[in-house]
Amino acid sequence: MSILNEVAVFLIAAVISVPLFKRLGLGAILGYLAAGAIIGPSGLGLIRDPEDILHFSEFGIVLFLFIVGLELQPARLWALRRSVFGLGLAQVLLTGILLAGVGVLLGLPVKTAIIAGLGLSLSSTAIALQLLGERQQLTARHGRESFAILLFQDLAVIPLLALIPLLSGQQEATGSTGQGLLLPILKVAAVLVAVVVGGRYLVRPVFRLIASTRMQEIFTATTLLVVVGAALLMEFAGISPALGAFLAGVLLADSEYRHELEADIEPFKGLLLGLFFIAVGMSMNLRLVVQRPLVIIGCVLGLMVLKAGVLFWLGRPMGLMLQGRRIMALALAQGGEFAFVLFGVAASAGVMDRGLSELLVVVVSLSMAVTPLLLALHDAVINRLLQRAVPVEYDRIEDAEQQPVLIAGFGRYGQIIGRVLNMLDIGFTALEVSPQQVDFLRRYGNKIYYGDASRVELLRSAGADRAKLFVLAIDDPDTSVRTAELVRHNFPDLPIYARARNRAHAYRLLDAGVKVLNRETLLSSLDMAAHVLEGLGIDEARARAIVERFRVHDEELLSKQYAVYMDEEQLVQTAQQAREELRSLFEQDNQPRSQAQLQEEAPRDAKSPDSTEGSDGSHQPRPPHLT
């Protein structure tokens, strides 16, 4: 088959399987793996030799680690040193020893069991980081600890590869064990120094020179050359090429070209990483699964249960929440791509039987394929069942000092309100349902309680019946509305100041009886609009008056639409009418006005931000700021 035909096969398989698996909620990785299994030698046989594809596509992992490095500045990497060499070392040693012990009990020679156990202790960097990235959890506490473990595993490949000749007896035969170990260590040290010095003092000036030519394709080629060069240096020293790319990314993380570098690499990374997953799927020997199904299934289950158990146990002394420990354990429970290399070298050196090597490769491949399924199952079923079966251990706040303000939701919106109150020494009690957010904020010295504000007993414990006002800053609209209804029903005298994400959310809050609510993007958007008008040459006073007039008109529109928001046809009609009214209003006002005129008209349009004058002259409440 020609290269063009093979490319067509890969693209067709990916285009069909990946969207299908995404639609089924199983994730893109499992789609790529399934596509590879179908077109590979054990499937339809459209591609006969997956080994070359696998080696080529491993460059996707190199690019992936380079981008990860770009997001991790040297100071942040240094902060992870305890997790890397503490948690990472503990995971590899403990998992490796346990797996080696199981191998010995099953009759494997001790040397073989050691290599098999340590090789299976490694996890797939590509799959674990991709899954955590898709879930936007790489920056969460369990995501950072997972990354630290994976980073140590990449470092551990070096001594593991050096261990194989020792176990095979090749070093003893030559009588040069000490000298044979000293040379690789010196080579690794020299290469690491070269990468660090070159990245700090050579690569940045080169990028400045290339950027001055303003030739985007040459800048992209230079970026790829830097990644390939770092990977080749590491490969020369016997280190994982992906680790070299990661180190190069870290050294460029605080450069002025970081974002452009990431944008240039991203398309190549996505395609090659997808090709890597397809190649892994192709390399699975499905015939071996058919011939020895019970053995394969038992090995996959045993591997993943043991690794997950070790990871879950190690998460406890690190202070991870239960959910974070579960996700870390499942994300790293599979075997890793470096096991393919390790078992191949071990088989060539005579430390491991060739048949056992093929069996373990199938076990690792299947464990990689199962991981996305396990995480999807965790989200859809297990997590919900555990939340129902096990009472959530929220913080006890019965003894909390009574505060005048109660804030539900302490994300980016609630934190700003809290900072203003702190500045004025006004006390408040903050409730946040996300354990990751609570953990993050507490490390920065914030006093915050872990609790669900939609539970009436927690609100009473927080002093809702004695508070002066309730700030509803919850991000999720459904939870926000449910909490508003709960507060209005159980604490009818407690004023609610609510955050609305959008117009639909605002309508639902109004239905729940909320009188004062604010759009999270309105004021900042209007302020930016005024700056834009000033940038176009309109004087500041007129720009502010125009923006204020728009705000008042928009609030009047929303009050009208609230009466008909359940009728989509009426909603569209009122929006069109309002657009014409607003255009007509500003057409009449297209002549510059004096400062006195502007000051005279602004109060006429907005007598009060919280009320509007009715036909009988009375003032009726309306929402002050809505989107």
pLDDT of residue 418: 85
The verdict on 378 and 477 lying in the same domain is no
The verdict on 330 and 282 lying in the same domain is yes
- Rounded to whole angstroms, the Cα distance separating 53 from 440 reads 42
Q: Is the dihedral of CA 523, 527, 528, 530 positive or negative?
A: positive
- Rounded to whole angstroms, the Cα distance separating 421 from 468 reads 14
Quick one: tokens of 553? 């008109």
The verdict on 204 and 240 lying in the same domain is yes
- Rounded to whole angstroms, the Cα distance separating 476 from 330 reads 26
Residues in the chain: 627
Q: What share of the chain is helix, strand, coil (3-state, %, to 5)?
A: 70, 5, 25
Phi-psi region of 514 (alpha: psi -120 to 50; beta: other; left: phi over 0): beta
Q: What is the CATH number of the domain that holds 344?
A: 1.20.1530.20
For 396, counting Cβ atoms within 10 Å of its Cβ (0-12 exposed, 13-18 middle, 19+ buried), the class is exposed
The verdict on 157 and 77 lying in the same domain is yes
Q: What is the DSSP letter of 249?
A: H
pLDDT of residue 221: 83
The position carrying tokens 């064990």 is: 177
Quick check: 472 and 514 in contact, CB under 8 A? Answer: yes
Quick check: 500 and 509 in contact, CB under 8 A? Answer: yes
- Rounded to whole angstroms, the Cα distance separating 544 from 606 reads 13
Q: What is the CATH number of the domain that holds 430?
A: 3.40.50.720
pLDDT of residue 617: 38
73 domain-assigned: yes
**303: how many CB neighbours lie within 10 A of its CB?**
23
* Segments of the chain scoring below 70 in pLDDT: 1-2, 25-27, 54-55, 58, 68, 71-77, 79, 139, 158, 162, 168-185, 187-188, 199-200, 238-240, 242, 254-258, 382-401, 435-436, 439-446, 560-627
The verdict on 373 and 457 lying in the same domain is no
The verdict on 473 and 342 lying in the same domain is no
Sorted by sequence, the CB contacts under 8 Å of residue 57 that are 6+ apart come out as: 272, 273, 275, 276, 278, 279
31 domain-assigned: no
pLDDT of residue 593: 52
Residue at a domain's end among 327, 355, 386: 386
The position carrying tokens 């414990």 is: 461
Contacts of 24-29 spanning 24+ positions with Cβ under 8 A: 25/376, 25/380, 26/372, 26/373, 26/376, 27/131, 27/134, 27/372, 27/375, 27/376, 28/130, 28/134, 28/274, 29/127, 29/130, 29/131, 29/277, 29/371, 29/372
Residue at a domain's end among 354, 386, 418: 386
- Rounded to whole angstroms, the Cα distance separating 134 from 414 reads 26
Element (H, E) at 544: helix 540-562
CA-atom Rg of the chain in angstroms? 31
The verdict on 348 and 445 lying in the same domain is no
pLDDT tens track for 510-556: 888 787 878 777 778 888 888 898 888 888 888 888 888 888 877 77
The position carrying tokens 């590869």 is: 161
The verdict on 429 and 368 lying in the same domain is no
Q: Name the amino acid, one letter, at 297.
A: I
pLDDT of residue 12: 85
Q: Which residue stretches of 427-471 are H helix?
A: 435-443, 456-461
Whole domain around residue 478: which residue ranges? Answer: 405-621
Name the E strands within 392-520.
Answer: 405-408, 428-432, 449-450, 469-472, 496-500, 516-519
Quick check: 371 and 131 in contact, CB under 8 A? Answer: yes
408 beta partners: 431, 472
Q: Name the amino acid, one letter, at 622.
A: R
Residue at a domain's end among 357, 386, 415: 386
pLDDT tens track for 370-398: 888 888 887 777 666 655 544 445 555 65
pLDDT of residue 180: 52
pLDDT tens track for 26-64: 667 778 878 888 887 777 777 777 777 766 776 777 777
The verdict on 438 and 577 lying in the same domain is yes
Cα 372-373-374 angle, rounded to 5 deg: 90
The verdict on 144 and 248 lying in the same domain is yes
212 domain-assigned: yes
The verdict on 56 and 96 lying in the same domain is yes
The verdict on 364 and 444 lying in the same domain is no
526 domain-assigned: yes
8 domain-assigned: no
Label the pairing between strands 449-450 and 469-472: unpaired
> What does residue 227 show for φ and ψ, rounded to 5 degrees?
-65, -45
75 domain-assigned: yes
Sorted by sequence, the CB contacts under 8 Å of residue 97 that are 6+ apart come out as: 117
518 beta partners: 499
Quick check: 280 and 33 in contact, CB under 8 A? Answer: yes
377 domain-assigned: yes
440 domain-assigned: yes
How many separate domains does the chain show?
A: 2
